Structure 1
Amino acid sequence: MRLLLVEDTQDLAVVLLKHLRQSGHTVDHAPTLKLAGGLWSSEKDAYDLIILDIELPDGLGTSLLKEVRASDVAVGVLVLTARSQIEDKVYLLDVGADDYLTKPFSLDELDARLRAVKRRHISKPVVTQSVGPLSYDPTNRTVWIGSDQLQLRSQELKLFESLIDSNGWSASKEYLFDRLYGLDQDASANAIEVHVSRLRGKLVDHGLEIEAVRGYGYRLRYRLDE
């Protein structure tokens, strides 16, 4: 998933970013309400879920929550709060939070809440996607060749997902970079090429290739479709 993490406590943000990225998510981080609002305004259609702290140095996260719910974008919002009073939790749910976590919390509980929020925002049945002999299960994020699972590293899997989601159309390098790294991760300009090369090596024996579209990006195709 593409996540927006709004959290100003540096130590907690570092732990969450590391955990979420190791879990295969692409995460943008905003430590202030102003930065979070800017990211939401410019990237709102890209986010699957927002993890939102309430107490921020320049305001309350509930103002962003209200802005999100006033838009026509269906995105999950998981609130992080140090407030434990029932009336505070009821208020957060009433203004649009899908769920909340009271600090401190475990990473296992965070993962479970994220899965629950994601399920609530699935608006249509999840369909297995296929290209040539490969099939992709988006629920479990697994790639199969017949009954054998194709083993992909985290970034290779995100690249494959981005390409197969393009349905045979070309995906720009900028789009792929955002899907793999988000907006606040440092990565070199040729990082995409490295992952494309590795993924190509795992697909070529199955009749699939990642075709370079000059001056634009890449597309996934099955050679026998020609």
Structure 2
Amino acid sequence: MRVLIIEDDRVLGPALRDFMQAQGHEAQLITQGDQLLLQCEQQRFDLLVLDLNLPQLSGLEALRQLRAAGHTVPVLILTARDALEDRVAGLDAGADDYVTKPFELAELAARVRALGRRHHAQLQHILEAGPLRLDTQNKELLFEGQRLNVSVREFSLLELLMQRAGKVVTKQQIIQSLSDRSTDFSDNAVEVYVYRLRKRLEHTGVLIQTVRGFGYALEVPQR
């Protein structure tokens, strides 16, 4: 897993990074809360290990900003704050687990593995393309954390394009994929739904390109 540790203690931070690497994870360390959102915008992580007592911006506020921006990466809070109200505040802000210091490394490793398994299971039905996140299980489309309203056919069309992002999807493939929804689905219907979906996505930066003579390809903006 790719793990980001947010810890300003000069001894504990590097020790946690080394421990995660010894456990087989790819681990990075930052020391300030105001660096968290930028790091998650620039890179994909599978888990965050977050201290609450951070300089510049508290871990709690950094977590709130992260969730408000639509990032769903699992977060394990690792902190000396052991009061009930602190644990409740952390979980309400969007944390997935809460461990207090001092802690046993074996327990920390087990909790990291558990969050990793849960996250992997969730990702089985999640498709992402740039700022778009499509949940095939809950039939939900999000743009930067905000829900976009699309029709059933538009959702199915986008799902097909996102599954093959950057590759050409032919009209025939679209018809075959969606034909069970209507017996009269045709070339013209494909063009209509591509047009409608383009209108839905025009403010997201994600484009549906026409590849003349072949079909369509989803183009995702580079960050």
Deviations 1:16-35 (A, max 9, x none): 11111111111121011233
Q: Which residue pairs with 1:212 in the alignment?
A: none
Q: Per-residue deviation at 1:125? A: 5.7
Q: Distance in 2 between matches of 1:35 and 1:91?
A: 21
Q: Which residue of 1 aligns with 2:38?
A: 38
Counterpart of 1:109, as a letter, is E
Query: Which residue number in structure 2 is paired with residue 14 of structure 1?
Result: 14
SS of residue matched to 2:103? coil
- AA in 2 matched with 1:79: I
Please give the residue correspondences for 1:99-114 in structure 2 after superposition, counting only pairs within 5 Å. Answer: 99-114=97-112
Q: What aligned pairs does 1:51-62 form with structure 2 within 5 A after superposition?
A: 51-62=49-60
Q: 1:55 to 1:124 in 2, by over 3 A?
A: closer
SS of corresponding position for 1:78? strand
Letter of the aligned partner of 2:26 in structure 1?
T
1:34–1:74 Cα change, 3 Å: closer
Q: Does the C-alpha gap of structure 1 residues 108 and 63 become closer, same or farther in structure 2, counting only changes over 3 Å?
A: same
Q: Which residue of 1 aligns with 2:27?
A: 27
Q: What do the CA deviations read for 1:174-208 (whole angstroms, capped 9, x no partner)?
A: xxxxxxxxxxxxxxxxxxxxxxxxxxxxxxxxxxx
Q: Secondary structure at the match of 2:24?
A: coil
Partner of 2:216: none
For residues 41 and 114 of structure 1, the distance between their equivalents in structure 2, rounded to whole angstroms, comes to 22
Distance 2:85 2:55 in 1: 23
Q: Take 1:124 and 1:88, find their aligned partners in 2: how far apart are those partners?
A: 29
Say which SS state the counterpart of residue 72 (structure 2) adopts. Answer: coil
Q: Distance in 2 between matches of 1:123 and 1:29?
A: 25
- For 2:153, the equivalent position in structure 1 comes to none
Q: Give the equivalent residue in structure 1 for 2:122.
A: 123
The corresponding residue for 1:4 is: 4
Give the counterpart of 2:92 among 87, 91, 94: 94
Instruction: Provide the TM-score with structure 1 as the length reference.
Output: 0.52
Secondary structure of 1:74's counterpart equals: coil
Q: Which residue in 1 is equivalent to 2:76?
A: 78
Q: How many percent identity over aligned positions?
A: 40
- C-alpha contact 2:2 2:45 (8 A) present in aligned 1: yes
Max Rg structure: 2
Q: CA deviation at 1:73?
A: 3.2
Offset, 1:13: 1.0
Whole-Å separation in 1 of the counterparts to 2:69 and 2:117:
20
What 5-or-longer segments of structure 2 have no aligned partner?
Answer: 126-223
Letter in 2 for 1:56: L
Cα drift, residue 71 of structure 1 = 3.0
Give how far 1:58 is off: 1.6
Unaligned runs of 5+ in 1: 127-226
Q: Measure, in 2, the Cα distance between the counterparts of 1:41 and 1:29.
A: 16
TM-score (norm 2): 0.52
Cα distance in 2 for partners of 1:73, 1:113 equals 20
Helix, strand or coil for the counterpart of 2:3? Answer: strand
The code of the aligned residue for 1:33 comes to: G
